[in-house]
Amino acid sequence: MAQITEASLRGLASDVQTELAHLRRLADDIAAIHAEIAQDPAHTRLFHENLALKLHNFYTGCERIFQMVISKLNGAPPSGFDWHRRLLDRMGVGEA
């Protein structure tokens, strides 16, 4: 595992901040879609499909942050068929 330096942590923090900005925009978009559903219930199905895509993008954005953090602190994200679950488990208990 590579040594963790102050500069590499600053780079990680910058990358995480960028991803968090994308997540904030997605959250704003999700709120706007909810407002549209209330104003135009005839197109609820289409809005729900749009919400599903945005929620998927939100989840994958969170996952990217987790991968960045665990890669920096642990050298690499988990691998194997259940890597998603193991990544979430590690991030949930604070083990990197």
Domain boundaries, the chain: 6-93
Q: Is the pTM of this model over 0.85?
A: no
Structure tokens at 53: 């895509």
Q: What residue type is assigned to position 62 of the chain? A: C
pLDDT tens-digit readout, 58-89 = 999 999 999 999 888 887 888 888 888 888 88
**C-beta separation of 69 from 13 below 8 A:** no
Distance CA 8, CA 88 (A): 23
Distance CA 90, CA 78 (A): 9
CA atoms lying within 13 Å on the CB side of residue 1: 12
